[in-house]
């Protein structure tokens, strides 16, 4: 499959009062056409910042993309002037967010909010845009689309609002849909419906999905390719089957172990001991070393690089480097 | 909606009744009256006058008479000016309204624009400059700015007249009259605008900063909308919503005149009349005016509630 997006060495930093924080630290990965890539990791590992960096929406005062390259369909997103990027945003790359309840403008009718990208990117007039908006509302499985188009966000449930967000996102047939924890705020039955819907649109529209989540259940259900992030770095990546069957990095192993298994009752669910390190106090080391059960002396002083292992998986861990050194 | 309105109107009547009682009793129980201050009168003449004006009757009875007259459209008779209070209001309030309307309009327009830009470019040199200017404007007293501007622009440079509404002895009519009034009102309007601008700009700036952090602004940007559209279609409307409360307060301010500004610029407005009447203990006029402001305040509050209903779909009355 062809590469749709190729990210190389992306770094995004935030300047805070306490100092500079590298929220995304030399992250590289690819998204192929028609593929679903999942970024997994705990809160604060840089998943969402990666997404915002792709969109060019890193909050201006304080945060900025410090380096790297994002090649999207042959164009360099980071070197682009703001107007060209704006024409891509919402058009070729669309995004949906975690909180559907607060992601729509409370004083604007649903219909108008769906019409906006149609009028900006596809240059439809008001009448055409309205018709298309109603079609889109039907497409995301909401009844009485006319009535919904004239209602306000507070009159709809969270699940319906996320469907509306999806309608807005797919309105211009994007090549890439970035979904930042799209189901986290919804209850389980609605979660499944939303994920099914995303899969359906992916299949029919041929778009790629970059799905950001901390829910391994969602990953197993959706992903073709998985990227595991920790403290702003990619620690492991690989195909979903390989990664679930044969995780390499101790962090990935820990994540998989802490996932509850249906039908199995345990007194206590496994959790990785400790917490994500303070991004201000990172030193050259494996950032996971103090939580790692297989920590080696070298892990405390040097940072492992992402390396291709057998089976096409990649991991950044000294366990595998050491093995090579010993051989 | 209509049941809500009926209920609100009933509440308004109760509040106004309580306000009228309070206003009347406070003024009526203040020691001394219009007659006390006149040292040329003999004690017998004073008693006679009190009898004529009905000032010797018990307070509640006087309140009853006052209210009864008010319901018949008679808000009292100014003792000092020897004119009906309503007629005096009509003579003076529109002058005050002219100043207040122009300066309120300018204040809101400038505050919204500066507040929005300042919030959008938070911590930029523009924002810093605005914040310094706001604090300067807020910490200077009105009489100081007023007198300072008179000294510079009117006395030294002679660009603008120092006070009054028309040039003394002028009989200009039509366009010439209009031009004269505009020249005279320039200074007081500038001072009033400066005074109101500080707090209102800060208010809009902080509202806008809050709104710009909201998720729906991120969504609007993610749709690929132009920044101008994000700011003015999505952010501004939400940032303006809380300001509706202020609209309610602006109503009495529009007609209430300004005690200090009108005094400094010798503007023939209701504020000046009010101050003068205080010195003369012209209670019918003072009571009438206070009651008038109370009515406007209550109406303003109702107005702002209705405006909320119109502007914010989440508000149901």
- pLDDT tens column, A173-217: 999 999 999 998 888 888 999 999 999 999 888 899 999 998 888
Beta bridge partners of A14: A21, A63
**Shortest CA gap B306–chain A (Å):** 16
pLDDT per residue over B16-74, tens digit each?
999 999 999 998 888 888 888 778 888 888 888 888 888 888 888 999 999 998 888 88
Using CA coordinates, name the residue in chain A closest to B238: A107
Please tell me which of the candidates A91, A99, A105 has its beta carbon nearest to residue B224.
A91
Between CA A161 and CA A143 the distance in angstroms is: 13
CA A138 to chain centre: 26
Instruction: Answer yes or no: do A168 and B223 touch at CB < 8 A.
Output: yes
Residues 6+ apart with CB under 8 A from B293: B252, B255, B256
Between CA A130 and CA B227 the distance in angstroms is: 23
How far the first Cα of chain B sits from its last, in Å, is: 6
Instruction: Answer yes or no: do A102 and B312 touch at CB < 8 A.
Output: no
Mark out chain A residues that contact chain B at CB-CB < 8 A.
55, 57, 61, 86-91, 94-95, 97, 99, 102-108, 116-117, 120-121, 152, 154, 165, 168
Instruction: Answer yes or no: do A89 and B241 touch at CB < 8 A.
Output: no
pLDDT per residue over B171-221, tens digit each?
878 888 899 999 999 999 999 999 889 999 999 999 999 999 999 999 999
Beta bridge partners of A76: A71
**Shortest CA gap A25–chain B (Å):** 23
Using CA coordinates, name the residue in chain A closest to B119: A61
pLDDT per residue over A46-73, tens digit each?
899 999 999 998 876 688 898 899 999 8
Query: What pLDDT is recorded for position A324?
Result: 54
Instruction: Answer yes or no: do A90 and B223 touch at CB < 8 A.
Output: yes
Q: Are A272 and A279 in contact (CB under 8 A)?
A: no
Edge-to-edge strands of the sheet including A225-230?
Answer: A93-96, A176-180, A208-213, A36-40, A225-230, A233-239, A314-315, A307-308
**Shortest CA gap A218–chain B (Å):** 23
Which residues does chain B have within 8 Å of residue A16's beta carbon, measured at their own beta carbons?
none
Instruction: Answer yes or no: do B224 and A95 touch at CB < 8 A.
Output: no
Q: Are A55 and A77 in contact (CB under 8 A)?
A: no
Beta bridge partners of A212: A39, A180
Instruction: Answer yes or no: do B237 and A117 touch at CB < 8 A.
Output: no
pLDDT value at B276 more than 60 = yes
pLDDT band at A1 (very low <50, low <70, confident <90, very high): low
Instruction: Answer yes or no: do A105 and B238 touch at CB < 8 A.
Output: yes
pLDDT value at A327 more than 50 = no
With CA atoms as reference, report the closest residue to A95 among B103, B124, B222, B174. B222
Instruction: Answer yes or no: do B225 and A105 touch at CB < 8 A.
Output: no
pLDDT value at A326 more than 60 = no
Rg (CA), chain B: 24
Instruction: Answer yes or no: do A99 and B237 touch at CB < 8 A.
Output: no
Using CA coordinates, name the residue in chain B closest to A52: B222
Rg (CA), chain A: 21
Q: Are A260 and A70 in contact (CB under 8 A)?
A: no
Residue with tokens 């703001």: A82
Secondary-structure class of domain A3-92+172-326 per CATH: alpha beta
How far is residue B57 from each of residues A162, B63, B68, B163, measured CA to CA in Å?
72, 10, 15, 43
pLDDT value at A323 more than 70 = no
Token pair, residue A72, equals 């999207």
pLDDT per residue over B34-48, tens digit each?
888 778 888 888 888
Instruction: Answer yes or no: do B219 and A61 touch at CB < 8 A.
Output: no
CA dihedral A119, A124, A127, A133 (to 10 degrees): -60
**Shortest CA gap B233–chain A (Å):** 9
pLDDT per residue over A100-145, tens digit each?
999 999 999 999 999 999 999 999 999 999 999 999 999 999 999 9
Which residues does chain A have within 8 Å of residue B311's beta carbon, measured at their own beta carbons?
107
Instruction: Answer yes or no: do B222 and A61 touch at CB < 8 A.
Output: no
With CA atoms as reference, report the closest residue to B237 among B306, B316, B305, B313. B313
pLDDT per residue over A201-258, tens digit each?
998 888 999 999 988 889 999 999 999 999 999 999 999 999 999 898 999 999 888 8
- B66 backbone dihedrals φ, ψ, rounded to 5°: -60, -50
What letter does residue B1 receive in the DSSP assignment? -
Q: Are A172 and A121 in contact (CB under 8 A)?
A: yes
Please tell me which of the candidates B214, B215, B222 has its beta carbon nearest to residue A90.
B222
Query: What pLDDT is recorded for position B216?
Result: 95
Between CA B253 and CA B273 the distance in angstroms is: 16
Q: In chain A, what are the domain boundaries?
A: 3-92+172-326
How far is residue B215 from each of residues A198, B49, B221, B222, B234, measured CA to CA in Å?
21, 71, 10, 10, 11
Mean per-residue pLDDT for A259-279? 81
Provide the whole-model pTM: 0.85
Query: What pLDDT is recorded for position A102?
Result: 93
How far the first Cα of chain A sits from its last, in Å, is: 35
Mean pLDDT of chain B: 90
Query: What pLDDT is recorded for position B182?
Result: 92
ipTM of the shown complex: 0.89
Which residues does chain B have within 8 Å of residue A115's beta carbon, measured at their own beta carbons?
none
Instruction: Answer yes or no: do B314 and A154 touch at CB < 8 A.
Output: yes
Q: Spell out the alpha helix ranges (H) of chain A.
A: 47-55, 82-88, 100-103, 110-121, 126-139, 145-149, 158-170, 188-205, 216-222, 240-245, 250-257, 318-326
Between CA B153 and CA B163 the distance in angstroms is: 12
Q: What is the 3-state secondary structure (H, E, C) of A44-113?
A: CCCHHHHHHHHHCCCCCCCEEEEEEEEEECCEECCCCCHHHHHHHECCCEEEECCCHHHHCCCCCCHHHH
């Amino acid at each position: 499959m062809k590469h749709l997006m190729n990210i190389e060495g992306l770094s995004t930093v935030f300047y805070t009062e306490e100092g500079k924080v590298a929220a995304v630290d030399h992250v590289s990965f690819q998204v192929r056409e028609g593929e679903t890539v999942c970024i997994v990791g705990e809160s604060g590992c840089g998943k969402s910042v990666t997404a915002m960096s792709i969109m060019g929406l890193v909050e201006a005062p304080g945060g900025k993309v410090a380096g790297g390259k994002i090649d999207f369909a042959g164009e360099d997103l980071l070197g682009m002037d703001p107007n060209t990027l704006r024409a891509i945003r919402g058009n070729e790359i669309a995004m949906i967010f975690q909180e559907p309840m607060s992601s729509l403008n409370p004083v604007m009718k649903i219909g108008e909010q769906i019409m906006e990208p149609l009028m900006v990117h596809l240059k439809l007039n008001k009448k055409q845009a309205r018709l298309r908006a109603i079609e889109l509302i039907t497409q995301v499985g909401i009844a009485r689309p006319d009535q919904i188009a004239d209602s306000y966000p507070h009159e709809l449930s969270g699940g319906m609002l996320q469907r509306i967000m999806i309608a807005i996102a797919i309105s211009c047939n994007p090549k890439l849909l970035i979904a930042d924890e799209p189901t986290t705020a919804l209850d389980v039955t609605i979660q499944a419906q939303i994920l099914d819907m995303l899969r359906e649109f992916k299949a029919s529209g041929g778009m790629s999905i970059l799905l950001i989540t901390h829910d391994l259940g969602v990953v197993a259900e959706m992903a073709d390719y998985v990227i595991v992030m920790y403290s702003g770095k990619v620690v492991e990546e690989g195909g979903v089957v390989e990664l679930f069957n044969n995780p390499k990095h101790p962090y990935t192993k820990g994540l998989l172990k802490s996932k509850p298994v249906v039908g199995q009752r345990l007194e206590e669910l496994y959790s990785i001991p400790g917490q994500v390190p303070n991004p201000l106090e990172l030193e050259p080391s494996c950032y996971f070393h103090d939580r790692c059960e297989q920590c080696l002396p070298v892990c405390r002083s040097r940072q492992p690089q992402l390396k291709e292992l057998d089976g096409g998986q990649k991991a950044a861990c000294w366990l595998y480097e050491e093995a090579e050194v010993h051989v | 909606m209509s049941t809500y309105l009926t209920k609100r109107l009933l509440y308004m009547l109760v509040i106004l009744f309580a306000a009228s009682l309070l206003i009347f009793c406070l003024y009526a129980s203040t020691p001394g009256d219009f007659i006390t201050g006149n040292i040329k009168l003999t004690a017998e003449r004073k008693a006679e006058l009190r009898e004529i004006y009905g000032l010797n009757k018990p307070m509640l009875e006087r309140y009853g008479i006052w209210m009864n007259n008010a319901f018949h459209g008679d808000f009292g008779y100014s003792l000092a000016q020897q004119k009906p209070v309503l007629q005096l209001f009509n003579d003076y309030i529109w002058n005050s309204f002219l100043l207040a309307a122009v300066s309120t309009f300018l204040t809101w327009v400038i505050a919204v624009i500066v507040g929005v830009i300042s919030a959008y470019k938070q911590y930029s040199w523009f924002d810093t400059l605005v914040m310094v200017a706001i604090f300067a404007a807020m910490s200077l007293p009105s009489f100081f700015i007023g007198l300072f501007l008179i000294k510079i622009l009117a006395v030294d440079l002679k660009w603008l007249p120092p006070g009054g509404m028309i040039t003394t002895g002028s009989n200009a009519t039509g366009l010439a009259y209009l031009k004269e009034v505009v020249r005279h009102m320039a200074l007081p309007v500038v001072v009033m605008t400066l005074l109101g601008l500080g707090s209102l700009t800060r208010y809009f700036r902080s509202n806008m900063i809050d709104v710009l952090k909201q998720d729906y602004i991120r969504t609007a940007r993610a749709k690929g909308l132009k920044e101008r559209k994000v700011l003015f279609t999505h952010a501004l409307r939400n940032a303006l919503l809380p300001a509706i409360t202020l609209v309610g307060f602006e109503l009495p301010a529009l007609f209430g005149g300004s005690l200090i500004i009108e005094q400094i610029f010798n503007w023939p407005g209701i504020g000046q009349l009010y101050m003068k009447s205080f010195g003369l203990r012209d209670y019918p006029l003072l009571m009438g005016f206070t009651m008038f402001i109370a009515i406007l305040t209550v109406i303003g509050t109702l107005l702002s509630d209705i405006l909320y209903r119109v502007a914010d779909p989440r508000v149901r009355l």
